[in-house]
Amino acid sequence: MLKSVILAAGKGTRMKSETPKVLHEIFNKALVSYVIDAVNNTGLADENFVIVGHQAERVEEYIKLNYDNAKTVLQSPQLGTGHAVSMVLPYLKDFDGEVVILCGDTPLITSETLKEFVEYHREKKSDLTVMSAIFNNPTNYGRIVRSADGMVSSIVEEKDATQEQKAINEINAGIYCINWQKVMPAFNDLKTNNAQGEYYLTDIIKWGNENNLSVNGYILKDNNEIFGINSKVNLAEATKMLNSRIINKHLINGVTIIDPATTWISPETEIQPDTIIYPSTYIEGKNIIGKHCKIGPFAHLRGDVILEDYVKIGNFVEVKKAIIKSHTNACHLTYIGDSEIGSNVNIGAGTITANYNPLTKEKSKTIIKDNVKIGSNSVLVAPVTVEEGANVGALSVITKNIQEWSLAITRAPMRVIEGWVKKQG
């Protein structure tokens, strides 16, 4: 099996945030998670090493909470990218296989590209393969220097490059695949004779050539995949790029999206054909949406939502951690959370499932069975079950279970005081 080393020790000064750079989020998912998931989804890797440094405890806690096959390794002090990778030497001294090295702030990298990259490395019988990209404007990137036979001879950082080297438009994408036992000695031989005074990971390319290893370069097809996050501006740009990729996938698969520019859909959301997504809809987290559904406009799905076929989630409706079965409508100004809702249910405007107890800090479930009708401006205080066919009158607060085919109503009787307005004058 393959292992990965993910560089996540940097402070991210330009983010201007107390949050470690790799824990900033897109669709409520940390940047480093996108990278780990991309590696895991290749089906090739069995273990990931995340190199931590700045606010190491926070990153370590996140990794432990979310991944069984990832462990953190502390880099302190931080003496460069080559030094960072050397931190895993004690863990991999006996490992005889391939290691992929990536950056933890590149959330757009895909498992498809990584799998193709590793396959290229294997097909070329390479000892060391670097991923590269062709940029019209390569300023600030390390340049890929190739020999006459097309092999990669070195990577030269911008600050160390000659004018001739700066004219090269093939740049280092920052991802490597190495045969570990052959390249491992390089990390003890790296030097700091460069403009930054650091141990450069890029120097393993030159080391490989000096030690007669096979060093190749894989040219990336979509440059957006290596877009790195160094500022909040970059974060916003990456979010747009990721969302555009997701939107296009759903459009190709038969989903109608009225206005892609104002629609946001998380990468973990599955949507079946013939569903319509209306403008200004925001869908985050992991969700499954069936066929012929209508979502929005101005709807918000917060994650862990399953919508069966022909469900309508209308304007200003928020849904979280809920299962809603087929032919059910929640059309206006409603909150549905921690709920199971049956088929052919109509949720009236302004309905709220009150699922959170602020005193006990516990969340409870609301269960609404098939063919139920909930009147407008009703509140269902969980835990509560509304059995099949029951009706809830408008303006009701439901705190007890309702039997099937019953009417539940809690509002006070209407009073009309004749002439009241004129008497006030």
The residues assigned a catalytic role are 332
User: Rounded CA gap, 374 and 380, in Å?
Assistant: 9
Within 10 angstroms of residue 234's Cβ, the number of other Cβ atoms is 16
Three-point CA angle 373, 374, 376, nearest 5°: 130
Report the b/e string of 101-121 with b at 16+ CB within 10 A: bbbbbbbbbbbebbbebbebb
> What is the spatial distance between Cα 20 and Cα 57, in angstroms, rounded to a whole number?
10
What DSSP string runs through 228-293? ---SHHHHHHHHHHHHHHHHHHHHHTT-EES-GGG-EE-TT-EE-TT-EE-SS-EE-SSEEE-TT-
Point out which residues pair with 402 in neighbouring strands.
386
CB atoms within 10 A of CB 225: 22
End-to-end CA distance of the chain: 86
Give me 398's structure tokens.
Answer: 């439901």
Long-range contacts of 400-405 (CB under 8 A, 24+ apart): 404/369
- Our measurement of the distance from residue 95's CA atom to the centroid of its chain's CA atoms, rounded to an integer in Å, reads 30
Q: Is the peptide bond before 138 cis (omega within 30 degrees of 0)?
A: no
Structural element, H or E, at residue 220: none
Residue at 17: amino acid letter: S
* Distance, CA of 386 to CA of 342 (rounded, Å): 10
Half-sphere exposure of 310 (CA within 13 A, CB side): 8
Total H helices, total E strands in the chain: 11, 33
Give dist(CA 357, CA 342) in Å, integer.
24
**How many of the other CB atoms lie within 10 Å of CB of 219?**
12
Length of the chain in terms of residues written: 425
Residue 408 β-bridge partners: 392
Chain centroid, CA 350 distance in Å: 31
